[in-house]
C-alpha cells in the first residue's frame, strides 16, 4: 500500500489525463486512447465539449477535426459516460454493453414499428451512408429530439442495437451506414466476456484517471456496466479490486485526509513515487468544459480539489449564480476560478462575460500572466482576434485584467 498527499494525487490525475504532463498527446486519437472516452455535447456558445476536451490535451488540435479522425475509423461513436468518441480498438466493450440497451419503452416501440425499422435498415444497406434529412419527412414545427420523425428514431434505434454505426458527422449531423461497412476488418465484432468487461472497466477507468475509488470505477463509463457486473455495490466493486491487488495488477493507495480506499494500476506507482516535474510557473491556464473527464462527475472535483461546480445552462437565468456555460479555470494543478464566455465567431470576438478568481495565487502578477496566456490561447482556438472582458470578481482586479487585453 502506498500513502500519498492529496497534492500528489492531483498531480498524478492531471499527468495521466494529459492536462499537466511532460508527455502531451500528439494526436486526436492519442487523446482518446489516453482518456478512453471523449464526451460529445451540443452546447456551442463556445466550441463544443468534444473539441475543448481534445484541445486541452492536444494544443495543435483544430476545431472539428475529431470528425475527420472518425472518418478514418480510428475512433467510433457510442454510449459510454454519455455519447462519446472512443478508440476503435475498444469496440468489443461497446458490443458487450449493448445488452443494457434499449430500455423497455423503446423495445415496445420497436415492436410496434418493426416494418418501418426494417425499411430504414434496407434503405441504408442499399443506398449507403444516410443522414436523417435524406429519409422520410420532417414533421411541421419540429423543434428537437422529442418530436423527431419516425425514420430518425429508427436510425437511432438501429445504431443503439449495433446494426448501424455513425460513419461520420458533417457539422453536427450524423451520417449512418451498416456496421459491416464502417467497422474495420481487423476489429473484433464479438462482445467481451463478463470477465473481460470487468477487467476493461477497471483498467480503463484507472488508466484514464490515474487513481480512483470504487465510485470512480462505478461512474467513469456511467453506471450501467458496474450495475451489470457488480450490481453497482461498493462492497462488490472493492472485493473485485482487492482480487486485482492480490493478482499483482493494482496497488492500493491511501490519500491522507480521505476515508475512501483508492487504487491505481501498478504501472502508475513509479509516477506516484517519483512525482511529476512539469514546469507550471509559466504554464497558461486551461479553460475546461463542464463535460471534461475530471469534471463531468461533479463529486470528483469536489472530492479531489474541494471545487464545487454546478452547470447552470439548465437553470433559469434569474437563478444562476455564475452564468450560462461556466468554464472552470485550471491554474497550475489547482482549480482557481471559473469563467463565462461566448465566442462571436463572425465578429472574431471572444466575449468574457464574467471571470471569478477564487484563490490568491492566480491573483498575483504571475498568476494573471498565466490567465492572460490561457485566455489568448482559447481565443486563438476559436479564431477570435479580440477579447472583451466584462465582469471581474474580485472587482478590484477589473482594470488590471481588462488592460491585459487592451
Report mean pLDDT in 10-residue bins for the chain, 406 residues.
Answer: 94 96 96 98 96 98 95 96 98 96 91 96 97 79 62 96 96 94 97 98 98 98 97 98 97 96 94 78 97 98 97 91 95 97 97 97 98 98 98 97 95
In a domain, 81, yes or no: yes
Are residues 290 and 386 located together in one domain of the fold? Answer: yes
Q: At CB < 8 A and 24+ separation, what contacts does 60-67 make?
A: 61/28, 61/31, 63/381, 63/382, 65/28, 66/28, 66/38, 67/168, 67/169, 67/170
pLDDT score of 143: 52
In a domain, 21, yes or no: yes
Grid coordinates standing for 277?
A: 516535474
pLDDT score of 171: 82
Q: What DSSP element (H or E) covers 206?
A: helix 194-209
Per the structure, how many domains does the chain have?
2
In a domain, 148, yes or no: no
pLDDT score of 271: 81
Are residues 318 and 375 located together in one domain of the fold? Answer: yes
pLDDT score of 33: 98
Helix, strand, coil percentages in the chain from 3-state DSSP, rounded to 5 = 45, 20, 35
Are residues 212 and 256 located together in one domain of the fold? Answer: yes
Domain enclosing residue 37, as ranges: 2-92+190-274
| Residue that terminates a domain, selected from 212, 247, 274 | 274
Are residues 359 and 256 located together in one domain of the fold? Answer: no
CATH number at residue 367: 3.40.630
Amino acid at each position: 500500500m502506498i500513502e500519498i498527499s492529496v497534492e500528489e494525487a492531483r498531480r498524478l490525475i492531471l499527468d495521466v489525463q494529459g492536462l499537466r504532463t511532460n508527455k502531451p498527446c500528439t494526436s486526436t486519437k492519442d487523446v482518446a486512447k489516453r482518456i478512453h472516452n471523449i464526451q460529445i455535447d451540443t452546447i456551442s456558445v463556445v466550441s463544443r465539449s468534444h473539441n475543448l476536451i481534445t484541445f486541452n490535451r492536444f494544443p495543435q488540435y483544430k476545431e472539428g477535426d475529431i470528425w475527420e479522425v472518425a472518418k478514418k475509423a480510428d475512433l467510433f461513436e457510442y454510449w459510454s459516460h454519455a455519447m462519446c468518441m472512443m478508440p476503435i480498438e475498444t469496440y468489443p466493450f461497446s458490443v458487450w454493453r449493448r445488452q443494457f440497451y434499449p430500455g423497455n419503452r423503446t423495445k415496445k416501440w420497436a415492436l410496434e414499428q418493426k416494418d418501418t425499422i426494417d425499411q430504414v435498415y434496407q434503405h441504408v444497406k442499399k443506398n449507403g451512408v444516410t443522414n436523417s434529412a435524406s429519409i422520410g419527412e420532417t414533421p411541421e414545427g419540429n423543434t428537437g429530439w422529442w418530436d423527431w420523425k419516425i425514420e430518425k428514431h429508427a436510425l437511432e434505434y438501429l445504431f443503439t442495437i449495433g446494426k448501424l454505426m455513425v460513419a461520420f458527422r458533417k457539422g453536427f449531423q450524423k451520417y449512418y451506414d451498416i456496421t459491416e461497412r464502417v467497422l474495420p476488418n481487423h476489429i473484433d465484432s464479438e462482445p467481451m466476456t463478463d470477465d473481460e468487461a470487468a477487467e476493461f472497466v477497471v483498467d480503463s477507468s484507472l488508466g484514464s484517471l490515474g487513481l480512483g475509488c470504487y465510485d470512480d470505477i462505478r461512474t467513469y463509463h456511467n453506471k450501467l456496466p458496474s450495475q451489470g457486473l457488480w450490481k453497482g455495490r461498493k462492497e462488490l466493486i472493492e472485493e473485485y479490486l482487492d482480487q486485482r491487488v492480490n493478482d499483482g495488477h493494482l496497488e492500493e493507495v491511501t490519500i491522507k485526509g480521505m476515508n475512501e480506499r483508492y487504487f491505481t494500476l501498478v504501472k502508475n506507482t513509479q509516477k506516484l513515487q517519483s512525482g511529476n516535474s512539469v514546469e507550471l510557473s509559466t504554464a497558461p491556464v486551461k479553460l475546461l468544459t463542464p463535460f471534461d473527464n475530471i469534471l463531468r462527475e461533479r463529486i470528483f472535483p469536489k472530492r479531489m480539489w474541494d471545487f464545487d461546480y454546478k452547470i447552470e445552462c439548465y437553470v433559469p437565468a434569474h437563478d444562476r449564480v455564475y452564468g450560462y456555460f461556466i468554464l472552470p479555470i485550471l491554474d497550475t494543478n489547482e482549480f482557481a476560478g471559473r469563467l463565462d464566455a461566448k465566442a462571436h465567431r463572425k465578429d472574431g470576438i471572444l466575449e468574457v462575460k464574467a471571470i471569478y478568481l477564487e484563490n490568491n495565487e492566480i491573483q498575483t502578477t504571475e498568476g494573471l500572466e498565466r490567465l492572460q496566456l490561457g485566455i489568448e490561447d482559447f481565443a486563438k482556438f476559436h479564431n477570435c482576434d479580440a477579447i472583451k472582458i466584462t465582469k471581474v470578481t474580485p472587482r478590484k482586479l477589473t482594470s488590471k485584467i481588462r488592460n491585459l487585453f487592451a
